[in-house]
Structure 1
Amino acid sequence: MSRSTRPLLIVVGGTDPVYRGYCVEQAATASPIGLIDTKPPTWQQDLVVDHEVADTHDPAAVVAAGLALAERHPIAGVVTWDEYALVPTAELVAHLGLPGNTVASMNACRDKATSRRRFAEHNVPSATSTRVDTLAQATAAAHRTGFPIVLKPASHAASIGVIRVDRPEELPAAWEFTAAGAGEQGPEGSGVLVEEYLSGPEISVECVTQNGVTTALAVTRKEVAFPPYFEEVGHTVSAGDPLLPEVAPIAVQAVQALGVTDGVQHVEMRLTASGPRIIEVNSRIGGDLIGKLVRLATGLDLPRIAADVACGKMPDLTPTRHTTAAIKILYPPATGTLSARHLTVEPDDSWLHQTAWLRAIGDRVALPPEGNLNTARVGFFIVTADSLVAAHDRLAALTEGLTLAVTA
């Protein structure tokens, strides 16, 4: 690969072409990219000037790969949008002496038990939470907390192993489900959390922090399905969302409580009867193409903003659009073999920004809890509109023209 005379931005992992391809593309507009990933670049080869192959979830491997890149190039900054690479990325930042988040702050984000403790210490509205290791401990904690409760692994992501439990008799089966997820979680936390269930609409606040100063940029309204699981099946971002002034101070407070000083944050919360309360803080761009929705709705380019912050540049936070963007993620009607998939699109559907199929005819598909993000999702479409209501109407119109079928 070619060598750059300009300082590189090191990107650690997060190169899935479906959900993170746009991040690599937009970051490349800010700086030449040096990639650390588990395999050599393929689709992103033209966007990368150099690379190292390493286990992106192993701090020592990431540090070694980053130091190898630093021997060949000047380095301007390091960034990741992979939840499981946050701590290794912080380790590399420290070794290179670059501005960025500390290992302690990233551990606090990754380990939800530490997050809850920090929230309590800083009076951030959150949920009652107890870390446990056994079903007996979970049962005792659930009765202290009061049903319904939520079980979740301490350091996972993407709602893996998360389940709502409404009654004591549901606990044993729910425990088996969550404990299985916890067995595969990241090393930053351990065990299972028994938490108070927060009732109300779920949202996230997309933030940027530089030198310890956090700015809330946008609100993402979420659609969650397949109870008692928490599968996210849709997101909507509107420029100038009236919720932003209400929820922004709480999001900022949560980011500061965890010691996060730099980068883009995806702050999840529920709008409860007692006010907004924090679910968790993810110190990276939100998944499910939320960053793309933010750009379509507001013009704010989160990957470019993250790259600028990592490189010590002042990002442009001026909105240039004022509209709404929404994504609907498509799930099969049942578990089985995908036998039909078709979306009827009218020629004048200029508001249909993107469609994608993630599974092919003949593929095995599975609904939660058996299915995961790879096997449950069949595709998605993204629309734009002048308002949240209009965007949802367009999603509904597309859904009417959608054909999905499976055979047993």
Structure 2
Amino acid sequence: MARALILIGGTVMGSGLLYVQAAQRLGLQPITLSDDPTRYDHFAAKGAETIRVDTDDLDALIRECCRLRGTYDIAGITAAADSFYATVGKLCRHFDLPGPNPEAIEQCCDKYTQRQLLAASGVPIPAYRLASNAADVEDSAAEIGLPVIVKPVVGSGSSGVQLCHSFGELAEHTAYLLSGNHIWRASPRILVEEYAQGPHYTIDIMGDDVIGIGALDFCRPPHFVYRELTYPAVLTGYKRKRIADVSLNCLRALGLGWGPTNIELRWTKRGPVVIEVNPRMPGSPCPQMVQLVYGVDLVTEHIKLVIGDEWNLLRSNPQTAVLRLLVPNRDGTIDWTDLGAADVPGVAEIKFYIKSGTPIIRKGDYRDCIGYVLATSPNIDLTRQILQRAVDLIHLSIMPLNTDN
């Protein structure tokens, strides 16, 4: 009987396909259970199976897994997106398979509860307030002091997140969140946070092992759209240890430590301040960067844990890698041409998520990214030079959208 890996729900910036490919390399048949299988039609070309199931219905997922057990030996169950990870934990518990603690995942995915647990354990975080209406948001901002960050309590990919410098901006963004334009999975709850300022870092952890620390840079405010990512972050030994220590304290505070965790924090005047803890693998191409730099294939090692095999987190001699995300600076129809960037020595990967001629309206979140360029070398300065040489060979033009009726 063939062994199968069950993947629940969606993906995080292409990481679902990484799981499909890694599962196949391990001799597993990947099967995705999704409420919209058409989103994963490209998985079929890779030999993966996709089945329509209501991923919000735990009983329906259990029934489908029971049905699949008639054909496959289900070696493990997992997900690439944190919105399904608690469900994964419940399924693993039902079928007596290795998996994360669903209660810990649910607490972590609620940003307000996450803040409460971190604060109770002494983890440094921004000042925050919970709000459910416009008056609450304004009062919270007045208490904390402008500027503030306003975000949904549940969500990912910076969707609905905005920096507000004035009460006018605050009212406008709050109105947007409560108008029905933002999609809520439950009753609207809004988090108002102090704007912690300083260099931004991303920390990749497997189990309780800090694998890597990267430096993040963003496009211009008020939104938080990634622009560049560098591995490893250039840090003193003192800062690296402080960041690692605070990150591991987050795991203890939230009851995590099984499988992957991604943490983002800023180094402020008072040291590291935790922005968010994500109980999942970071989205693509972060896993590819970690593998290039540290020699650890996060996705493969996660699957090994899921199926009960022993993982290998041994690091190799570190390289450097820098990623430039391609983000349009205005709405319009995007045309792009690669004038030889892929042939630049040291370019590891170039990827576009859209075809030339595609109209785009920016959302102020991860969906604004239309592609990326990834470069690597043993030296960080050389890597940056390689990256810029490649980016200069990619021609992007943005024509205004035709608004004629």
In the alignment, the residues of structure 2 paired with residue 25 and residue 17 of structure 1 have an alpha-carbon distance, to the nearest angstrom, of: 15
In the alignment, the residues of structure 2 paired with residue 289 and residue 349 of structure 1 have an alpha-carbon distance, to the nearest angstrom, of: 19
Shift of 1:240: 9.1
Equivalent positions of 1:237-248 (< 5 A) are: 237-238=231-232, 242=236, 244-248=240-244
Deviation by residue 1:253-303 (Cα, 9 ceiling, x = unmatched): 112211124111111111111111111111111014100110111110000
Deviation by residue 1:306-332 (Cα, 9 ceiling, x = unmatched): 111212222101112420122211122
The one-letter amino acid of 2:29's match is I
Counterpart for residue 364 of structure 1:
359
Counterpart for residue 285 of structure 1:
281
Cα–Cα, structure 1 residues 182 and 267, in superposed 2: closer, same or farther, change >3 Å? farther
RMSD: 2.5
Counterpart for residue 311 of structure 1:
307
In the alignment, the residues of structure 2 paired with residue 130 and residue 330 of structure 1 have an alpha-carbon distance, to the nearest angstrom, of: 34
- Relative to the length of structure 1, the TM-score reads 0.88
Shift of 1:31: 4.8
Cα–Cα, structure 1 residues 402 and 63, in superposed 2: closer, same or farther, change >3 Å? same
176-185 vs 378-387, which moves further: 176-185
SS of corresponding position for 1:285: coil
Contact 2:6-2:74 within 8 A present in 1 as well: yes
Aligned residues: 395
In the alignment, the residues of structure 1 paired with residue 361 and residue 329 of structure 2 have an alpha-carbon distance, to the nearest angstrom, of: 9
Cα–Cα, structure 1 residues 280 and 133, in superposed 2: closer, same or farther, change >3 Å? same
- Relative to the length of structure 2, the TM-score reads 0.89
1:254 and 2:250 matched: yes
Shift of 1:166: 1.5
In the alignment, the residues of structure 1 paired with residue 136 and residue 50 of structure 2 have an alpha-carbon distance, to the nearest angstrom, of: 46
SS of corresponding position for 1:72: coil
Shift of 1:197: 1.0
Q: Which runs of 5+ in 1 are unaligned?
A: none
Q: Which runs of 5+ in 2 are unaligned?
A: 401-405
Contact 2:124-2:273 within 8 A present in 1 as well: yes
The one-letter amino acid of 1:390's match is L
Counterpart for residue 116 of structure 2:
117
1:20 and 2:30 matched: no
Counterpart for residue 394 of structure 2:
402
Counterpart for residue 159 of structure 1:
158
115-124 vs 25-34, which moves further: 25-34
Shift of 1:47: 5.8
1:267 and 2:259 matched: no
Counterpart for residue 379 of structure 2:
387
Cα–Cα, structure 1 residues 228 and 124, in superposed 2: closer, same or farther, change >3 Å? same
1:200 and 2:212 matched: no
Deviation by residue 1:183-205 (Cα, 9 ceiling, x = unmatched): 42444x85010111111111110
Shift of 1:57: 4.5
Cα–Cα, structure 1 residues 95 and 194, in superposed 2: closer, same or farther, change >3 Å? same
SS of corresponding position for 2:265: strand
In the alignment, the residues of structure 1 paired with residue 341 and residue 98 of structure 2 have an alpha-carbon distance, to the nearest angstrom, of: 49
Equivalent positions of 1:64-103 (< 5 A) are: 64-103=63-102
The one-letter amino acid of 2:375's match is V
Shift of 1:93: 1.3
1:345 and 2:340 matched: yes
Counterpart for residue 126 of structure 2:
127
Identical-residue share of aligned pairs (%): 22
SS of corresponding position for 1:44: helix
In the alignment, the residues of structure 1 paired with residue 246 and residue 152 of structure 2 have an alpha-carbon distance, to the nearest angstrom, of: 24
Cα–Cα, structure 1 residues 9 and 132, in superposed 2: closer, same or farther, change >3 Å? same
